[in-house]
Structure 1
Amino acid sequence: MAGDAEIDFVGLSHELEAQELDAPGGVASPQLYGQLLALYLLHNDTISSKFLWKRIPNNIKQGNPELSLIWVVGQHMWKRDYPSIYESLRKDWSDSVKPIMNALNESMRRRAMNLVRKAYASINVDDFAVFMGMPVAEAKQAAIVEGWSLDPQSKFLTPKKIELVSTVTLPNEQHLSVLTDYVSFLEN
């Protein structure tokens, strides 16, 4: 796996699901289970990750501690415990899951940034750093890069709100006309 940015995680996920289904005796390799579990977490598909965890045979879980470590990340995601998620991600992962776990770490930080942006008018820098799972200096820099403002005296960050693009609404008559044309096209 060359660079993390070059990996098609969605395609890899589909490929691994197919390999799991085709596995002899219905039991895949521990590496496949680890990658698939990590990919489900990357895609924020905690339900699929939970069902995958339940169908992994116990002997494979017990023989591969990395699987349990990946699942711990999933459990923290389920609880939305961001500081614990980041702590769980700070492991020395095997080469097969390292790019996925690195991408998961970045994805979690983007999600956290967007949550703070939507939920807070202002937030203390220390609280923001904990929520982002990074040191205060890095958290400040990440916020400033996003265009947030920092009050140095109160140490509060003010998120830059994302401007919502308004959708064009059609008058009811025009909307009905479009639907009528569409149905007429389908009938002919």
Structure 2
Amino acid sequence: MDLPPLSDEQLALVVASAQSPANLYSTLSDYETEACLLSTKDGKQAELLSLYYSTFFFSHLLTDQIREARLSTKRMPQNLLQSDPSLQNCLNLLRAVWQRKYEQVYTILRELPWPEPLKPIVQSYDAHFQEKTLKELSRAYEAIRPAAAATYLGLDPASAQEGDPATMQKFIACGWTWDEKTGLLHPKPIIEDSQNDAQLYNELSEVMALVGNRRT
């Protein structure tokens, strides 16, 4: 069945109705050929292309296709990529994710200007990145200093290092233990379960609340 023509309204509907990141990625992939036919010289079409390619880019990240996200930037109209603020933000984010610069990732997601229609998916990736990092920490460390853990998870390192109760509770809520004598956190390994993409997509906002969606 043919898809409805790509438009701002249709793109918003695709994002709102996607049952999972994988579903969103699949649908946006089907629109890529049509997007290639739009002109960047037409102001309205250029705005649509910016929103489409930015959304498509985040659908790659939400499905952990980092290499493919990198390749997708090569298929974008290069004149638009070099001049559009949102796509420039995407490029900066890609570099930070690729190089595992955790603080920079959170700064880009939370402090750079993003257009209103894109903000929900930006926030979803913030939550996804935190959750993924939390699982990586739980497997990689038997003990870790609170400031380091906070940096990885986008929390305030100074508050964590001082043992701020509200900050420490966010770690404890994840099953970690806090040894006040040694000043170390002991992560609890998080076992991957059989949750499907749809459940994960619906629970991203809960993850944000769990590990803190903003530094204070």
Q: TM-score range by the shorter chain?
A: 0.7 to 0.9
**What percent of counterpart residues are identical?**
24
Given candidates 75, 94, 101, the residue that maps to 2:115 is 94
Deviations 1:92-125 (A, max 9, x none): 3212221111111111111111111111111010
2:150 maps to 1:129? yes
Q: Aligned equivalents of 2:88 and 2:120: distance in 1?
A: 18
Query: TM-score, normalised on structure 2?
Result: 0.67
Question: What letter corresponds to residue 150 of structure 1 in structure 2?
Answer: W
The alignment partner of 2:82 has SS state of helix
- How many residue pairs get aligned? The number is 164
Larger Rg: 1
Given candidates 6, 14, 26, the residue that maps to 1:14 is 26
Residue aligning to 1:112: 133
Q: Which moved more, 1:154-163 or 1:13-22?
A: 154-163
Residue aligning to 1:30: 50
Larger RCO, structure (CA 8 Å, separation 6 or more): 2
CA contact (8 A) 1:123 1:157 kept: yes
Given candidates 50, 57, 71, the residue that maps to 1:51 is 71
Question: What letter corresponds to residue 111 of structure 1 in structure 2?
Answer: K
Q: Which runs of 5+ in 2 are unaligned?
A: 1-11, 40-47, 194-216
Residue aligning to 1:169: none
CA contact (8 A) 1:40 1:46 kept: yes
Q: Aligned equivalents of 1:86 and 1:34: distance in 2?
A: 17
The alignment partner of 1:128 has SS state of helix
The alignment partner of 1:147 has SS state of coil
Residue aligning to 1:81: 101
Q: Aligned equivalents of 2:58 and 2:167: distance in 1?
A: 25
Evaluate the alpha carbon distance shift between residue 110 and residue 163 of structure 1 in structure 2; reply closer, same or farther with a 3 A threshold. closer
Question: What letter corresponds to residue 174 of structure 2 in structure 1?
Answer: E
Query: TM-score, normalised on structure 1?
Result: 0.76
Q: Aligned equivalents of 1:97 and 1:164: distance in 2?
A: 29
